[in-house]
Structure 1
Amino acid sequence: MKTHVKALVVGGGAVGTSIAYHLARAGWSDVMLLERDELTSGSTWHAAGLLPLFNMSYATTHIHKYSVDFYKTLEAETGLNAGFSIVGNLRMAQTQARMDEYMVYATTAETAGVPYEWMTPAQIKERWPLVNIEGLKGAIYHPTDGYINPADVTMAMAKGARQRGVIIERKWQVDGYEWTGSEWRVTVTKMVEKGGNLVPSDEQTVITAEHVVTATGNHAQRTAKLLGIKIPAIPVEHQFIVTEPDPALVEYRKNGGAEHPVLRDADAKWYVREERGGWILGPYERNAPARFQYGVPDSFRADLFPLDLERIEEEYMSMIHRLPSSETVGLKDDFNGPICYTPDGNPLVGPAPGLRNMWLAEGFSFGITAAGGTGYYLAQMMVEGEAEIDMASLDPKRYGPWMTTDYAVQKNEECYEHVFILHHPDEEREAARPLRTAPAYDRQKAMGAQFGVVNGWERPNYYGPVDAPANFDHNARSFRRGGWWQYAVDEAKAIREGVGLIDATAFTKHVVKGPGATQFLDWFTCNKLPKVGRINLTYALTSAGTTRTEYTIVRRGEDDYYLVSAGAWSAYDADYLRKAAEDKAGEFGYIEIQDVTTQYGVFAVAGPKSRDLLKEVLKDADPETALSNKRFPWLSSHRIELGMCPVDAIRVAYTGELGWELHHPIEMQNYLWDLLMAAGQKYGLKLVGARAQNWLRQEKSYRAFGNELGRDATPAEADLPRFIDLSKAFHGKDAMVDKGIRSQCCTLLIDGPADADPWGREVLYQEDGTRVGRLTSGGYSVAFGKSIGMGYVRPDLAVEGTKLKVKMFDQLWDAVVTCDSPYDPKNETIRKDG
């Protein structure tokens, strides 16, 4: 066995073989893949092999599309037929809400070039007469996908990998990882058959590798223990059944009927496809249990669990209703095997937290569909530094160290159950909540707060009526304007016209200080560093010149900085910041980094009356002038006292109004809350949630990380030249400059439907029908009384006055590119003196 390689891939399922193949195709000639048993012996062997393109995520849509296109090329390259049956995928709908979901999805599909067709119930019946169309509203049909043989496609990728020089070794188990500072020492043990079990032998060796990729599937918890990290990838039972041949189906095909597409009755929570004259039914039922939360037993190989037919009785009867000819057909086979899930259903793809050159590819609930694209984009990340699409939504560090095994179990079981439950863009799932709560949580809840979750934190989305009747639905979700919409409108107006209070405690907060801090941050970020007592907005770049993180930097001393970044990305930001500081410590000197996220709460007070409110509680020798432009100018920071609470106040507002962020000791949060609420009665203080804030920041064209800002666009392409100092050297600068402006961010005002606003995933067209870009944010503007959005278009179109069209609910609506910061473009309101 070879004992030194550039890249070692651990796991021989569809995902692992794809990664090995694509690393070799990308130019790495020294790649090895290890499998502890046989290739495909994990979940791959019992997967149904479906290739659904449907996905609400922009990144995952690209991954799935690449897989479908790539699998069609494998036979020509390897000579192996992967068994790809391009029969299409028919996703049926029983309700208008489901059709709305499909239309929201469809506009995202167009941004990735995924083809689809709409079908009426009559058209379904005409093409596939065995389908009972009773109760259907319609369907979306993908003509280019279908199903594939999981084992065959894995073997085809393995052969393609070998042809490109990859070494594949079977029956070797990884038993230890050690990072030497420059490479990994991986201890591996030869596995042998003994009494039907696979057991370790006495033969052991060490492989050194510059990079390691884990694609260990159901064994992710064992991998996590070996690496000393948490990986929230835990399998859930998934069962499907295969029927005996259906005489009606056999006769239909005998008479020239085309093979049915993969049928999905999402409202009934199942998929069905043809199999040797019969049917395969795969339900996604309630109460499917998680398994192997602490590791896979040594005795479990290519094994299955007992079938639980009672658990899927409802879905089975629904299949009979939709395919009446199946009622008298017997069961031929059954499968109940482990399929890995994650809390949000997206896989974990990217660098492992805290580790160097260790890459994770774990938690694939749709592993066959995602395998090809995962290999392609992960290879780009490893070989080129970044993928061509923003992979942050799949990054393993989207879950921080607060994540526990029990949390993952509860959320993964919930995620399985929600596969076919309506995926509202405004949904908030309930499992494992509340978990992370700021001290004011109970007070906010008593005031009608309806919470969402950000990085485990409970954060008010909006405030509903406190005295709501018993039948009031706080969770009225919709693909159009949900039950929360009017409350968010009122909250946004309060910020624009009076004063509002927003809980921003979930913000990520770091202290960076020490003799090397200034030189490091000057290199790490692209803007000038602020002077002491001032703040600045800046960006940390990737090596590819794209945006890695957005920071508000407060300079508290010559070498003492307070960094604030997005609340959803705490571990993600911390990992990148610490690794970059470690890399530069020898050049710049000692740098101390502290994650103080949980030490400080944050209240944002904003609106024309915000200064008046703060004066009521400010303890200062001259409270009338303490908050004036002269003593407390815009984009500055001061330590102030509000009653008995010491506050680091920052004069900035994500809403674009006069306002302050009040960073306070979290143990004093309830005291400060009560103080502000009491003083605010005089000024009509209104509590404001995250949804109104999201609309308000779009009126100011404030970019959001994960939306406008990400690893697929540079700060220059985000149209942020005022935050880029090209006179200095900074990480990623040359790559950013070399990229130029491929597409450009802009803000659009939209004359959309009367009952809906964009969600920030819609496709943009020119008036002649040419696709020219996509939205990355969307919502409603109280200032302009219409929908608003932000997104990326061709640079020549990112000009004020350009008329475009946005696709919403299968119609094109007028949109016009407006100026940057259409509300108060001169920042007169935010600079208001007093």
Structure 2
Amino acid sequence: MKTQVKALVVGGGAVGTSIAYHLARHGWTDVMLLERDELTSGSTWHAAGLLPYFNMSYATTHIHDYSIKFYKTLEAETGLNAGFSVVGNLRMAQSRARMDEYMLYAATAETCGVPYEWMTPDQIKVRWPLVRTDDLEGAIYHPTDGYINPADVTMAMAKGARQRGVTIERKWQVDGYRWDGTVWHVTCTKMVEKGGNLVPSDEQVVISAEHVVTATGNHAQRTAGLLGIKIPAIPVEHQFIVTEPDPALVAYRKDHGEHPVLRDADAKWYVREERGGWILGPYERNAPARFEYAVPDSFRADLFPLDLDRIEEEYMSMIHRIPSSEEVGLKDDYNGPICYTPDGNPLLGPAPGLRNMWLAEGFSFGITAAGGAGHYLAQVMVGGEAEIDMASLDPRRYGSWMTTEYAARKNEEAYEHVYILHHPDEERPACRPLRTSPAYDRQKARGAQFGHVNGWERPNYFGPVDAPESYDHDARSFRRGGWWQHAVDEARAVRETAGLIDATAFTKHRLTGPGATAFLDWFTCNRLPKIGRINLTYALTAAGTTRTEYTIVRNGENDYYLVSAGAWHAYDEDFLYRAIWDKEDEFGRINEEDVTTRWGVFALAGPKSRDILKTLIRDAEPETALSNKRFPWLSARQIELGMVPVNAIRVAYTGELGWELHHPIEMQNHLFDRLMEAGEPLGMKLVGARAQNWLRQEKSYRAFGNELGRDATPLEADLPRFVDLSKDFHGKAEMEAIGIRSKCVTLLIDGPEDADPWGREALYAGDRRVGRLTSGGYSVAFGKSIGMGYVAPDLAVPGTALQVKMFDTLWPATIVEDSPYDPANARIRADG
């Protein structure tokens, strides 16, 4: 057995074998895979093997697309049939809202090149007469997917890995990890059979590996304990049943090919053909999380006791949809663990706080995702970055605040929501509220309808004060929901009077020490601000793409306050820490403090914002304290508002005159009350995130996770004014080598009267797809829909006429100049 390898993969399910295979395919031949039992003995063995394309995530859609195409090539490479039945996938809709969901999904699918067809109930009935269609609105059909044998595809990838030089060792359990600063030392124990159980023997080896990937499936909590980190991957029970042969299906098959996979999302199940009968897989309510702390040693390729009463509703709805199944008996039934994460996306990427440790955990659709997960993770490990932005799957999207209880309850919710309508404005209720700013109750009393960002409660919009508990749910839609008019009113207030936004969730770090200036100058691409000034800048990946956006406030020669997106706290923090570790010897001592929870933030913006602050500021000359002369745009000052010391920054993400008011969080309620007293008589409104999102698009302000990410450079985002090419910085050469593959633009859209784009839609020039939106919404300034996105550089010219695909219809769109609202920034620079 080898004891030194380039990369060690821990876990021999479909995901682990795919990673080992793809690392070798990408050039790392010195790879070893360890499995504590037999290959496929985890959730892989009892998976139904479905390969659904359907996913609202751009990155995950690419991953699924790669898998489906890759699995079709395995037999030619390995000689093993992976058991892929390309039977198609019919996803049915019982309501117009469900069809709207499919049309929004199709927009994402189209940007990834995924084929699909629309079908009417009559077309379904003619083609598949066993399906009852009288209560359907329609369906979306994927002709190129189907289902696969999980064991067969895993064994095919394992053989392909061996052919490429990978070593696979079975019956070895990892019992310890130790990093010595250069490599990982992984303690492994030989497992032996004893009385039907798998138990540790006395035989141990230590394997040295430059890189380690954990793909431990249901054992993720054990892995987390060994590594001393948190991994919010916990299994949930999933039941499915297999029926006896259905005579009607057997008769159908005499003259037809295999029946497609059926999904009735409104009934919360999938059904596929199995040896003349049917497999029913429901996603019911109240499926419990299991193994919250560890998998028992006695649990191998085992199952849980059945709870068929829990899925009775779904079983009866199958009979309704496929009437011939009513008289068919049950043949087999399964209840096994499937790992989930709080948002349903896997954890794929670097382990937080650890060097050369990679996670591939929490795959609820592991067979579908395995091929693509291996491919894109190998791109990151071998080449530094993947060709798609993997941030939405990054393990560091969850912070240290997350607990086992939180993960278990949210994972149960994610399971239950597999087939619940995925509104783009959905807000799932489990484990909320959890992280709240002090002003939470005051805002709630004023009608705040909250979303959650990295666990924080953040107002999305402000509805009626006396709204019932169900109001926010009722307000959701794939079109302009009940919240839309409230957001319009809030956006207009910012443009006409003033708006107050709670931005406490911002990520905030302080960097000091003799090495801070040299480090930040290397770490970010823009020139550093002068003392008392601020600057917007970007930290790049090693591949030259955008890794993080920062607002940097310079308080002293080597004293900096960094503000970044609240949704990416742990993600940004980990990246910053790693860079400091790498460079402290070169630049000198750097002190880093995470001060996120010390400081609350209110953003006050609008033409009357200065008048509001004048009534509160304590200054020898209050009338001039906030003037351009004493407090110019893009500067920072320490001021006093009433009894609250405030670090004020003159900047506004909405593009109006405004300030960010960073204040001691324990004084937030006092400051909130004083701002409301001063602002309401002048027409100030409380404003939520949705209106703010619209307003920033009117100014063409890019958002991290939308326009900014690891698949585009700052120059492709069309932000050359924030890139100082006269200096050297991390990722500069790589950024310049990429060039401009596509370019970010802003578009005004003449869309449907009852809907706006969500930022997932395809862009067309005639009948040619030429790009995609990354943001969308409504513009109060222009009275029509607005969006931002990427197109080929030759099209990125103001005045270019394009079309946006919404609800399966092409709508006119025009590329406009950057910052179409107040392009000269006269309003944000206004004096007074």
Is the TM-score greater than 0.5? yes
| Deviation of 1:405 (Å) | 0.2
Task: Determine which of 767, 771, 774 is the counterpart of 1:773.
Answer: 771
Other structure's SS at 1:154 match: helix
State the one-letter code of the partner of 1:208. Answer: S
**Residues in 2 aligned to 1:615 and 1:136: alpha-carbon distance in whole angstroms:** 60
Other structure's SS at 2:344 match: coil
| Deviation of 1:645 (Å) | 0.1
Per the alignment, residue 633 of structure 1 pairs with: 632
Percent of residue pairs bearing the same amino acid type: 83
**Residues in 2 aligned to 1:659 and 1:707: alpha-carbon distance in whole angstroms:** 24
> Is 2:100 the partner of 1:123?
no
**Residues in 2 aligned to 1:257 and 1:248: alpha-carbon distance in whole angstroms:** 12
Q: Which whole-Å deviations, capped at 9, do the CAs of 1:414-463 have from their partners, x for residues lacking one?
A: 00000000000000000000000000000000000000000000000000
Other structure's SS at 1:17 match: helix
State the one-letter code of the partner of 1:787. Answer: S
> Is 2:208 the partner of 1:205?
no
State the one-letter code of the partner of 2:364. Answer: S
| Deviation of 1:258 (Å) | 2.4
- Contact 1:108-1:761 at 8 Å conserved across structures: yes
State the one-letter code of the partner of 1:797. Answer: L
What are the equivalent positions in structure 2 for 1:34-73 lying under 5 Å apart?
34-73=34-73
What are the equivalent positions in structure 2 for 1:213-612 lying under 5 Å apart?
213-254=213-254, 256-468=255-467, 475-612=474-611
State the one-letter code of the partner of 1:530. Answer: P
> Is 2:702 the partner of 1:681?
no
- Contact 2:459-2:688 at 8 Å conserved across structures: yes
- Contact 1:118-1:138 at 8 Å conserved across structures: yes
- Contact 2:534-2:634 at 8 Å conserved across structures: yes
| Deviation of 1:467 (Å) | 3.1
> Is 2:184 the partner of 1:184?
yes
- Contact 1:173-1:190 at 8 Å conserved across structures: yes
Q: Which whole-Å deviations, capped at 9, do the CAs of 1:4-47 have from their partners, x for residues lacking one?
A: 00000000000000000000000001000000000000000000
| Deviation of 1:307 (Å) | 1.0
**Residues in 2 aligned to 1:98 and 1:210: alpha-carbon distance in whole angstroms:** 48
**Residues in 1 aligned to 2:7 and 2:258: alpha-carbon distance in whole angstroms:** 42
**Residues in 1 aligned to 2:134 and 2:599: alpha-carbon distance in whole angstroms:** 56
Other structure's SS at 1:617 match: coil
**Residues in 1 aligned to 2:452 and 2:703: alpha-carbon distance in whole angstroms:** 17
Per the alignment, residue 832 of structure 1 pairs with: 830
- Contact 1:474-1:483 at 8 Å conserved across structures: no
**Residues in 1 aligned to 2:95 and 2:746: alpha-carbon distance in whole angstroms:** 34
Per the alignment, residue 794 of structure 2 pairs with: 796
Q: Which whole-Å deviations, capped at 9, do the CAs of 1:602-647 have from their partners, x for residues lacking one?
A: 0000000000000000000001000000000000000000000000
- Contact 2:191-2:200 at 8 Å conserved across structures: yes
**Residues in 2 aligned to 1:71 and 1:345: alpha-carbon distance in whole angstroms:** 23
**Residues in 2 aligned to 1:283 and 1:667: alpha-carbon distance in whole angstroms:** 47
State the one-letter code of the partner of 1:801. Answer: G
**Residues in 1 aligned to 2:153 and 2:583: alpha-carbon distance in whole angstroms:** 44
Per the alignment, residue 819 of structure 2 pairs with: 821
Other structure's SS at 1:671 match: helix
**Residues in 1 aligned to 2:726 and 2:251: alpha-carbon distance in whole angstroms:** 75
Query: Where in structure 2 are there 5+ consecutive unaligned residues?
Result: none
- Contact 1:100-1:809 at 8 Å conserved across structures: yes
> Is 2:754 the partner of 1:785?
no
- Contact 2:242-2:278 at 8 Å conserved across structures: yes
- Contact 1:451-1:461 at 8 Å conserved across structures: yes
**Residues in 2 aligned to 1:501 and 1:472: alpha-carbon distance in whole angstroms:** 22
State the one-letter code of the partner of 2:296. Answer: P
- Contact 2:22-2:378 at 8 Å conserved across structures: yes
State the one-letter code of the partner of 1:209. Answer: A
| Deviation of 1:472 (Å) | 5.1
Q: Which whole-Å deviations, capped at 9, do the CAs of 1:777-827 have from their partners, x for residues lacking one?
A: 000000000000000000000110000010000000000000000000010
Per the alignment, residue 13 of structure 1 pairs with: 13
Other structure's SS at 1:115 match: coil
Per the alignment, residue 3 of structure 2 pairs with: 3
Other structure's SS at 2:106 match: helix
| Deviation of 1:470 (Å) | 8.3
| Deviation of 1:594 (Å) | 0.6
Q: Which whole-Å deviations, capped at 9, do the CAs of 1:62-90 have from their partners, x for residues lacking one?
A: 00000000000000000000110000000
Per the alignment, residue 646 of structure 2 pairs with: 647
**Residues in 1 aligned to 2:317 and 2:438: alpha-carbon distance in whole angstroms:** 47
**Residues in 1 aligned to 2:248 and 2:378: alpha-carbon distance in whole angstroms:** 47
Q: Which whole-Å deviations, capped at 9, do the CAs of 1:304-352 have from their partners, x for residues lacking one?
A: 0011110000000000000111101110000100000000000000000
- Contact 1:89-1:143 at 8 Å conserved across structures: yes
State the one-letter code of the partner of 1:775. Answer: L
State the one-letter code of the partner of 1:88. Answer: G
- Contact 1:464-1:474 at 8 Å conserved across structures: no
**Residues in 2 aligned to 1:258 and 1:524: alpha-carbon distance in whole angstroms:** 58
Q: Which whole-Å deviations, capped at 9, do the CAs of 1:464-494 have from their partners, x for residues lacking one?
A: 0113478856642100011100000000000
- Contact 2:449-2:472 at 8 Å conserved across structures: no
**Residues in 2 aligned to 1:257 and 1:566: alpha-carbon distance in whole angstroms:** 54
- Contact 1:172-1:191 at 8 Å conserved across structures: yes
**Residues in 1 aligned to 2:575 and 2:625: alpha-carbon distance in whole angstroms:** 38
**Residues in 2 aligned to 1:470 and 1:8: alpha-carbon distance in whole angstroms:** 50
Other structure's SS at 1:626 match: coil
State the one-letter code of the partner of 1:399. Answer: Y
| Deviation of 1:682 (Å) | 2.3
More deviation, 194-203/257-266: 257-266
**Residues in 2 aligned to 1:217 and 1:73: alpha-carbon distance in whole angstroms:** 25
**Residues in 2 aligned to 1:257 and 1:371: alpha-carbon distance in whole angstroms:** 31
Other structure's SS at 2:178 match: strand
- Contact 2:651-2:659 at 8 Å conserved across structures: yes
C-alpha spacing 1:811/1:654, structure 2 compared with 1 (3 Å)? same
- Contact 1:474-1:484 at 8 Å conserved across structures: no
Q: TM-score, normalised by structure 1?
A: 0.99
State the one-letter code of the partner of 1:153. Answer: V
**Residues in 2 aligned to 1:712 and 1:599: alpha-carbon distance in whole angstroms:** 33
Q: TM-score, normalised by structure 2?
A: 1.00
State the one-letter code of the partner of 1:715. Answer: P
| Deviation of 1:257 (Å) | 2.0
What are the equivalent positions in structure 2 for 1:722-737 lying under 5 Å apart?
722-737=721-736
Q: Which whole-Å deviations, capped at 9, do the CAs of 1:126-184 have from their partners, x for residues lacking one?
A: 01111111210000000000000000000000000000000000000000000000000
| Deviation of 1:681 (Å) | 2.4
**Residues in 2 aligned to 1:129 and 1:726: alpha-carbon distance in whole angstroms:** 65
State the one-letter code of the partner of 1:226. Answer: L
Q: What value does the CA root-mean-square deviation take over the aligned residues?
A: 0.7
Q: Which whole-Å deviations, capped at 9, do the CAs of 1:504-551 have from their partners, x for residues lacking one?
A: 000000001100000000000000000000000000000000000000
**Residues in 2 aligned to 1:34 and 1:59: alpha-carbon distance in whole angstroms:** 28
**Residues in 2 aligned to 1:815 and 1:128: alpha-carbon distance in whole angstroms:** 39
- Contact 1:235-1:341 at 8 Å conserved across structures: yes
**Residues in 2 aligned to 1:684 and 1:770: alpha-carbon distance in whole angstroms:** 47
State the one-letter code of the partner of 1:140. Answer: I
Other structure's SS at 1:598 match: coil
State the one-letter code of the partner of 1:741. Answer: I
Other structure's SS at 2:615 match: helix
Other structure's SS at 1:678 match: helix
What are the equivalent positions in structure 2 for 1:31-180 lying under 5 Å apart?
31-180=31-180
Query: Where in structure 1 are there 5+ consecutive unaligned residues?
Result: none
